[in-house]
Amino acid sequence: MTIADLRIANADVVLPEGVRRVDLIVDGGVITEIVDPSVAVATTDVVDATGLHVLPGVVDPHVHLGPNITFPQSDADVSPETRSAAAGGVTTMLAYLMSPTPYHDVFPVAKQAMEASSVVDFGFHFCVVSRDQLDALPDYVRDLGVSSFKFFMNFRGEEGAYLGLPGNDDGFLFDLLQSCEANGAMLDPHAENIELVWRLRAAGLVEGRTALDSWNLARPDYVEAEALNRLAFLARVTGASVYAVHTTNALALDVLRQGRHAYENIFVESCPHYLTLDVDSPCGTYGKVNPPLRTASDREALWRAVAEGLVDTIGSDHVPRHRSFKEKDIWTASAGFPGLENLLPTLLSSGHNQRGLPLQRVAEISSTRPAQLFGLYPKKGVIAVGSDADLALVDLREEYVVHGADQLSASEYTPWEGETMTGRVRHTYVRGTRVFSVGQEFGAPTGRFLERRSSGATALEVSA
């Protein structure tokens, strides 16, 4: 008789069909049985998880790593951020690699850095910024297992120069959509109409109620919504799958709802910060991000869109630049902030505990749906027999106060500083190995690269 590795016993487990008191049997990193607690199964280890809920490990589809958020190159780029991920119940992250040079050169460097230091599993998206990269897209899917691509609709003229990236136009976007469609890939565009931002800039900056409000007024909701409207139309014309990253506001949601009504392969991501922070939050310039934090009514529109299913996924848009880049005025502070460690806690605290968002819905938007859309399902994204034992064990009742100083990202701050969260990640397992427990040391890095041969509609067909 064979003996399995691990039993996670006496927890409430978030399964696709609902929350059930069942035990999980794990062997070789995979869930091999889901049994009633009364059923005897021989295992080497038993973890008594009484009082805890088990969710599928978070699949964070939106992470930036490395110097100036280009691509991870060293232990310092990877170790603190992936530990921060594990502490937030994240078991898989998809990181954006960003370079004007060919990804056949960049990819091995990033992959090696991650394999050497990551405590969670990982895949990549590539930011496509040049015609050469566009031409190589079929090879990226086939040779490198990368099937989703970022495009900056706002990088016109010199707008991307600060990241070393050339300008682009709608013609390039159209070609990129066609290539994604032809290769079973998905485009993840950053949607802002920069020409409308330039117009506002030329007219003179408007002082808002707060620094964050001034930033919001410089790149208002319609700047994002107009670009999404154009994107949805071009997706429909080309038949491409598109994924609206970091959606922030009610007007943008209206545009996406209409776009999806006409054409189904439009997918929507939002972020924990757009759901829980706004222009009146106390975080000040630490909360500067593109697109900007919006208003309280936009936050509530996003929660409704999460509940109704318009929002498919939640990504952290983690940016680990050090706090010193943020401790400036609102116009010169850098955009973006760390979020990996707070993604699941904000969904549990503000979503489940405060707004009654069902735990199955939390699991769908934080794990199942991103795994499905990015070609990882059902290996990732679900607690089911045959799936990887990637698990977040949480105490839904535990309260704690968020402090940047306690968090593991090298950025040394958080825009949620001082917020009380109800619902804490106690343990995180990746392929059956416990990689994080509150108050314990981390073990050796064991993160693995995940090849993804399709994304979007093609991935949904494969996983159905």
Cβ-proximal residues to 450 (8 Å cutoff; 6+ apart), any chain: 92, 121, 122, 123, 145, 376, 380
Question: Of the listed pieces 113-121, 165-173, 313-321, 411-419, which binds Zn ion according to CB under 5 A?
Answer: 313-321
Shorter beta-carbon distance to Zn ion: residue 318 or 431: 318
Shorter beta-carbon distance to Zn ion: residue 221 or 317: 317
Question: Of the listed pieces 214-222, 315-323, 346-354, 408-416, which binds Zn ion according to CB under 5 A?
Answer: 315-323
**In whole angstroms, how large is the CA radius of gyration of the chain?**
21
Cα 37 from Cα 337, distance rounded (Å): 42
Output b/e per residue, 19-30; b: 16+ Cβ within 10 A: beebbbbbbebb
Q: Least distance to Zn ion from the beta carbon of 426, Å?
A: 29
Instruction: Sketch the per residue contact string, 111 through 150, with Zn ion: x for CB under 5 A, - otherwise.
Output: ----------------------------------------
Question: Of the listed pieces 191-199, 225-233, 314-322, 363-371, which binds Zn ion according to CB under 5 A?
Answer: 314-322
Residues in the chain: 464
Q: Supply the DSSP string of 174-227, one letter for each residue.
A: HHHHHHHHHTT-EEEEE---HHHHHHHHHH-PPP-SSHHHHHHHHS-HHHHHHH
Contact between residue 155 and residue 165 where contact means Cβ atoms under 8 Å apart: yes
Beta bridge partners of 244: 268
48-67 residues near Zn ion, rule: CB under 5 A: none
Q: Least distance to Zn ion from the beta carbon of 64, Å?
A: 6
Which runs of E-coded beta strand occur in 257-302? 266-270
Residue 364 is a binding residue for Zn ion (CB under 5 A): no
Sheet with 121-127, side-by-side order of all strands? 58-64, 90-98, 121-127, 148-152, 186-190, 241-244, 266-270, 313-314
Shorter beta-carbon distance to Zn ion: residue 278 or 317: 317
- Count Cβ atoms below 10 Å from residue 418 Cβ, excluding itself: 11
Shorter beta-carbon distance to Zn ion: residue 47 or 127: 127
177-206 residues near Zn ion, rule: CB under 5 A: none
369-398 residues near Zn ion, rule: CB under 5 A: none
Q: Least distance to Zn ion from the beta carbon of 78, Å?
A: 17
Shorter beta-carbon distance to Zn ion: residue 317 or 395: 317
Shorter beta-carbon distance to Zn ion: residue 23 or 188: 188
Q: Least distance to Zn ion from the beta carbon of 192, Å?
A: 12
270-309 residues near Zn ion, rule: CB under 5 A: none
Q: Least distance to Zn ion from the beta carbon of 438, Å?
A: 28
Residue nearest to Zn ion (CB): 317
Shorter beta-carbon distance to Zn ion: residue 10 or 290: 290
Cα 323 from Cα 403, distance rounded (Å): 13
What six digits make up the tokens of 330? Answer: 């609102």
Cα 452 from Cα 424, distance rounded (Å): 31
What six digits make up the tokens of 25? Answer: 């049997």
Residue 317 is a binding residue for Zn ion (CB under 5 A): yes
Question: Of the listed pieces 44-52, 178-186, 225-233, 316-324, which binds Zn ion according to CB under 5 A?
Answer: 316-324
Q: Least distance to Zn ion from the beta carbon of 245, Å?
A: 6
Q: Least distance to Zn ion from the beta carbon of 383, Å?
A: 28
Q: Which of 232, 184, 253 is nearest to 460 (CA)?
A: 184
Where along the sequence are the contacts to Zn ion (CB under 5 A)?
Answer: 317
